[in-house]
Structure 1
């Protein structure tokens, strides 16, 4: 699919100072030569930043003194960041890790309902173990990092702000700084030192599952917000920098995560280097200039090279040219995706400039041991280790980690009244008000008089979890109910409070039924929560294949009941039919815990006057078609349904027609075949098929695997099943893949195979997908005889759907299994978009 990029260039004089680019050329790096980038090009494109936090001789002296007394083992331990589910306090005492994290949906004691006191206890225990030198000889304090991306979102009762896409519509950097300040305060109540925020992705393709983590398609908003968030989290460099009320910030993910081809999470960004800076690096200009102390490397590739292993970007650009002197932390085992690496071994990432491995799971110990061995062998230079550890120590010294009290004894620690404090929620409520964007308002139906009979319906009406989206208590934001949000309010509750106070009538209905015919219906609906790649989709059609919300809207409209649509989403979506069926339509995005902020705006005062104006403007262009996925301001062929910056004010006439086209291109003609023997697809096997294979040979009873040559080197795979128990081999991705477009295009699974040892029993072809996926296609007859020649087997994807597979969320389209003996070679495994011939196996 064509990837379009905006041709926008921003100068620093608007708010952030950048020094002259005319410095003396330095030696060109190997990676720069690989990318065919000359030193003059590097200096012409990437600026030297005038960073507000300057080098300090006293700090550097302390860093070097500490470093001089450290063993190699202590140094490498500073570079290892395990997850709280995978280490104990005793592990911390033994190894002295420089940091640790809780991933999304990870809690002390693995209890979702852990109290702030539980968080403080774990922070205190880990800290005390890290400075206990009885085993490892180290007294360097550890630091705890957390994903507080829209408030302290892992802690029940915390203030949850609108997700970034909504904040972008507010375009208010001062408010953003205040939000970050509050987030830092609530994080510090639980004894945590470090926040993995802000996300500064500039989203180019709204199919990306992390679109809502981006503030805007406009790099200007992202740059300004990045500076504001960093100042709010860390404090200003010239007054309260990393003081007792502040935490370490992380500008992420470096760089280009919002610009991957097709919006593929962890995919490939093919922007030119100038576009990489002009569009995707502006958040780093903003955040690093004001002094962010850490940067998180991105999962994505740039022109096929994974960023975790890209020395040109991490070292030549970020550290040497832009002047960043903090540390670079990896993302969730992102180093394991670098060519030639595994989760437990990746010298390439260290040599490229990664300073801290984020290594959840059981891989931290072999990674620690392998890294030590690689330094001893010379594969990693000691100078690179010393540089990494110096950066980690520098940030710790600047943040006062060596001099501050332990986590349980810090100024905010244990002040539970600050978690979800009234004044914090007031700011979140303001943010909700400013984030709302009015797309349609026929006859100026909004704001609604609270003295009417109002029906509130839709699956998002009384659902704080849905309105908060992903990264909310759990990683995906799923599995929550309103009881998990003490102090919060649903959109319905906010409306009900206003109506009740004004003497009107209100009824909540789950199915749009009512006791008394209402004067107006408010329908609250939208996307279900998701995070990261689980939200990737292949087009922007809302409720594709299941128009349950549209049915509600149309039912009410058919009864001549005026309809106000409040649309919850993490991205702009193709909702032409829903717009047609609504008299008013408001994009409420993902407002977080303060649903009453929506009522503040959509409800009038009792006398009918405006309570709060509606001021939000689209920070993302709104598509006119489901396949208009890369529509960004500045594109040469820019033609959205609603442009960047659009947003009606109360009293303005609607501009949208009431008969928008409800016919959308399927996009089938734009789909290309999916080669499942290349990234992001990974072979896996074992009893449940989830043990991924990263080497050319592997074995896990009853299955063995190795790469073989068919036409070119390692273009085929040989899988042997020993029998005696069920063995599975599959090709999968970390996240579910949306195959609906391929199914709609009558797509097929196609692969070549050669039977080296005939099956002695039943062989099944299946799939692994979201939910209860029971795909089971008997292919025994294809594998019951040895075949010296390669053959091709094709299977209609319709067979998957016919057996109940959710084609929008397929983790593994190719799974082969047997409990008996079989040896088969496979090659050319593909999902074919528009096949030229009928499938070998088809379904009615």
Structure 2
């Protein structure tokens, strides 16, 4: 009998163990067939306070490891500007890093996967060999939401090609003052254009299903990423355009100018919203409960999560981080759900834990934050597909995406002037001219062409930034083989006059910058740009292409310039500029605001490879504008490149024309704040020397309008190329007439900085080139 009882007891114990094991195998939150809210509730019911606070914490990759992810239950990791696994890291390097961190998260008790975020603001711009698209200021000039949506889809694939699932984009700021260093991150000074360009969100995330509840986030699987509408709200309206400053405006003004794009973003299922460093009427946005919780979450019914900016909560106090406990309290109670710490994560976790345990912050606020974060993770399919898919690596920088970038470049170019006589336009340029001068600091600098947020935070200079085509190379690729292209960066007047140039192309503008480094009170073309315009356009017919992130001072030079093109910050595909300059495509761009040549780093601007961008041509793969020119012209044409030729040099050579590419150097965020908005030296000198001696086209590489008026009279043709990115051929596509100019100014191009801020509708509106301006040309494929 005892033996029978013992057997029965053992049987019961085994049955109990089997049932317990079966129960642990089935977890509702891991079942994709369960309703979303059921999965969220099931998981949250199992979570400790420590695990919940971990989900609210985002840390920088430099302090992250699999062990840290496991021990602190970290919910998200990011790469700051220029933070990479190693220099020129491959897609596989990125994937391996992300997967290693993800495996740490999956080794936790509840196996909650982390999200990896990155500033992919004009392509996957921190990554070497990625396609660098024009910055938003250029995309605003295209007036083409469908194009922007396609760019979003391509960017999503290139982000996923590196294993990353979260883009800190788009920036839907309405830049009201071009002195702001982040103006090139804004599509326009007009909120209606910014609203239209939120079409990039379904490109990044996928099309939200019909009849989806308002405010619910959406992401369509492992070929898409989650997006972040930023910077909430009013970041583009600060006093004098000073980054992270105070936006003084009525509530009606805030809601009618700066808020509308958020309505569109939420309707399109944007997953996250990033808070602005700026203040509204003196109150820090990171601590503004009325706008974050009451308006965004309650009135607009936004159901995704709200994330801080980099050390955003630290800046609630003055000086920064002076009272971190208060900063945590103010931000979390205001409605911030995830904090981009990014480095001192233990201080943040300990501080928030203490505030909850002392009941200063209610548990309901923590639960609201975590519920929102988990909702996004479930919706994007992260629990089902937490690890990167190595089958996607081939999408990084693929030709289809570079062709798209080139198309975007040519559509973004705004033709501001085309000949002194409308019946005798300079553009499209002849590909068979015997001798062509290309001048300007931005003609053969891919870093300048891309602008800030390219490889490095502030951008870089030179042509080793990444793969791409400078405008100079795009010109060489475009012209006839018998045409001679002479490149001289800043030629003096005598040089220009002494050469029999058919015409000149001058490419000048701003140097790369990002954020505060770009703040400027004068908005001038970087030196020696003005000198280059004066020298070249004063001696020969010239097209001036402005590379800038905003309108710059150009009025002093307009009379010298035969044709003037706003190229913004076109990125790596310089061929998009020559597509239009030479008539293969027409100009179609329009000024997004009332209104550089062989350096891929300049061409791409800030937020390219590094936070502030980089200089030179080793930034990443791409085509500088110089190489695009060389690829475009006829085989018999000679292309002479001289970065900053003196006037005598230009005069002493028989150039058919000159192409001067100048502008701003790369920058990002505060580094881009500028009080003068001038073309980087020696851009002005190059314009003066070249355009004063030979017909010249000046291409401006900048993230905004810059001071160009002093040189306009010398410039025969002027092109705003913005920050075009790696595909310099997009510039030559247009310069040489294979495509027409179609871009329209997304910003007002001012005459001088004393007019600023000046936006369309202002009573004192007297621009050099008005918002929406842009001459058009037709393709001239037989050129």
TM over 0.5, shorter chain: yes
2:430 match = 449
Shift of 1:648: 1.4
1:193 corresponding residue in structure 2: 165
1:667-706 pair list within 5 angstroms: none
- Deviations 1:65-123 (CA, angstroms, capped at 9, x unpaired): 10110000000000110101122222112112110100111111xx2322211110111
Cα separation, 1, equivalents of 2:127 and 2:315: 30
Whether 1:581 aligns to 2:560 is yes
3-state secondary structure, aligned to 1:462? strand
**Is structure 2 residue 259 aligned with structure 1 residue 276?**
no
In the alignment, structure 1 residue 103 sits paired with structure 2 residue 80: yes
Determine helix, strand or coil for the equivalent of 1:615. Answer: strand
Structure 1 residue aligned with 2:382: 401
The one of 122, 132, 150 equivalent to 2:97 is 122
**Quick check: 1:540–1:629 contact (8 Å CA) kept in 2?**
no
Q: Give the Cα separation in 1 of the matches to 2:323 and 2:106.
A: 27
Matches within 5 A, 1:552-563: 552-558=532-538, 560-563=539-542
Task: Give the equivalent residue in structure 1 for 2:530.
Answer: 550
- Alignment partner, residue 368 of structure 2: 387
Partner residue in 2 for 1:63: 40
2:442 corresponds to 1:460 = yes
2:205 is equivalent to residue 234 of structure 1: yes
How much has 1:649 moved relative to structure 2? 1.9
Cα deviation 1:133-160 (Å, max 9, x = unaligned)? 2xxx341000100000000000010000
Q: C-alpha separation between the residues in 2 aligned to 1:321 and 1:551? A: 54
175-184 or 111-120, which deviates more: 111-120
Cα deviation 1:701-721 (Å, max 9, x = unaligned): xxxxxxxxxxxxxxxxxxxxx
Q: Distance in 1 between matches of 2:173 and 2:769?
A: 22
User: Would you say the 8 A contact 1:333–1:343 is kept in 2?
Assistant: no
d(CA) in 1 for partners of 2:193 and 2:333? 34
Superposed counterparts of 1:427-506, under 5 Å:
427-442=404-419, 443-452=424-433, 453-478=435-460, 480-486=461-467, 488-501=468-481, 503-506=482-485
CA distance in 2, matches of 1:130, 1:117: 20
Which protein has the bigger strand share? 2
Distance in 2 between the 1:75 and 1:237 partners? Answer: 28
Counterpart-to-counterpart distance in 1, 2:431 and 2:410: 18
* Cα deviation, residue 609, structure 1: 8.9
| CA contact 1:563–1:582 (8 Å) conserved in 2 | yes
Match of residue 235 from structure 2: 257
Corresponding residue to 1:146 among 105, 118, 127: 118
Distance (Å, rounded) in 2 between the aligned partners of 1:246 and 1:330:
22
- Offset of residue 405 of structure 1: 4.7
Is 1:638 the counterpart of 2:765? The answer is yes
Partner of 2:505: 522
Higher RCO (C-alpha 8 Å, min separation 6) = 2
Q: How far apart are residue 625 of structure 1 and its match?
A: 2.0
Which residues of structure 2 form unaligned runs of 5+?
A: 1-32, 211-217, 585-632, 635-734
* Separation in 2, partners of 1:329, 1:609: 46
Equivalent pairs counted in the alignment come to 579
Distance 2:323 2:137 in 1: 32
Q: Which residue of 2 is the match for residue 204 of structure 1? A: 176
Structure 2: how far apart are the matches of 1:299 and 1:198?
16
- Displacement after TM superposition at 1:611 (Å): 2.2
Task: Give 1:324 deviation, angstroms.
Answer: 0.0
Asked if the contact 1:152–1:187 (Cα under 8 Å) also holds between the matched residues in 2, the reply is: yes
Kindly provide the CA deviation profile for residues 471-517 of structure 1, in whole angstroms up to 9, marking residues without a partner as x: 00000002x4323322x10011111011145x322122233357953
Aligned to 2:347: 366
Which sits farther off after the overlay, 560-569 or 308-317?
560-569
Mapped to 2, the partners of 1:198 and 1:557 lie a distance apart of 38
Deviation string 1:640-685 (CA, Å, 9 cap, x unpaired) is 2221111112389xxxxxxxxxxxxxxxxxxxxxxxxxxxxxxxxx
Checking the alignment, whether the CA contact within 8 Å between 1:444 and 1:651 is kept in structure 2 is no
SS of structure 1 residue aligned to 2:486: strand
Which TM-score applies when normalising by structure 1?
A: 0.67
CA-CA distance at 1:604 after TM superposition: 3.4
The answer to whether the 8 Å contact 1:469/1:529 transfers is yes
SS in structure 2 opposite 1:192?
A: coil
Report the TM-score when normalising by structure 2: 0.72
User: Tell me, what secondary structure is at the counterpart of 2:479?
Assistant: helix
Distance 2:414 2:88 in 1: 34
Deviation at 1:455, TM superposition (A): 1.1
Which position in structure 2 is the counterpart of 1:357?
Answer: 339
Farther-moved stretch of structure 1 (577-586 vs 311-320): 577-586
In structure 1, distance between residues paired with 2:530 and 2:126: 33
Matched, 1:92 2:64: no
Could you tell me how far apart the structure 1 residues matched to 2:754 and 2:503 are?
Answer: 33
Residues 196 and 651 of structure 1, relative CA distance in 2, 3 Å threshold: closer
Match of 2:691 in 1: none
Counterpart Cα distance in 1 of 2:83 and 2:525: 30
Q: Distance in 1 between matches of 2:299 and 2:522?
A: 38
SS of alignment partner, residue 288 of structure 1: helix
Identify which of 332, 335, 342 aligns with 2:313.
Answer: 335
State whether residues 615 and 649 of structure 1, in contact with CA within 8 Å, keep that contact through their aligned partners in structure 2. Answer: yes
Contact 1:618 1:643 in 2 (8 A): yes
Structure 2 counterparts to residues 622-633 of structure 1, below 5 A: 622-633=749-760
Inter-partner Cα distance in structure 2 for 1:404 and 1:551: 56
**In structure 2, C-alpha distance between the alignment counterparts of 1:328 and 1:516, rounded to whole Å:** 60
The secondary structure found in structure 2 opposite 1:589 is coil
Q: 2:132 aligns with which of 131, 136, 160?
A: 160
Give 5+ residue unaligned stretches, structure 1: 1-55, 653-844
Q: Which residue of 2 aligns with 1:648?
A: 775
Q: Does the Cα contact within 8 Å between 1:550 and 1:577 map onto a contact in 2?
A: no
- Is the partner of 1:481 in helix, strand or coil? strand
